[in-house]
Chain A
Amino acid sequence: MVDLLIYLAASLAGMAFILAMIRFVIGPGVSDRIVAFDVVTIVAITVIIITALEEDRVVYLDVALVYALLSFLGVIVVARYLERGF
Chain B
Amino acid sequence: MKTLLDVIGALFLVAGTSFLFLGGLGLIRMPDLFNRIQSGTKATTLGTILTLIGATFLRPEWGIKLSLIGLFLLFTNPLSSQVLARAAHRIGVEKSAKTKVDLLVEPPGDPR
Contact = CB atoms under 8 A, between A and B. Distances in A.
Direct A–B touching in the complex (beta carbon < 8 Å)?
Answer: yes
A34 B17 contact: no
Contacts of B112: 83-84
A85 B111 contact: yes
Interface string B36-61: 11001100110110011011001100
Interface residues of B, number: 57
A16 B27 CA distance: 10
B33 A32 contact: yes
B10 A39 contact: no
Contacts of B79: 72, 76
B51 A49 contact: yes
Contact of A12 (B6, B20, B72): B20
B80 interface: yes
Interface in A29-86: 29, 31-32, 34-36, 38-39, 42-43, 45-46, 49-50, 52-53, 56, 58, 61-62, 64-65, 68-69, 72, 75-76, 79-80, 82-85
Contact of B110 (A13, A34, A43, A85): A85
B21 A19 contact: yes
Contacts of A85: 91, 110-111
Interface string B13-28: 1101110110111011
A57 B86 CA distance: 39
State the 6 A-B residue pairs at the shortest beta-carbon distance, nearest first. A19-B24, A5-B10, A12-B17, A16-B24, A9-B13, A83-B87
5 contacts: A35-B27, A35-B37, A65-B68, A76-B80, A83-B112
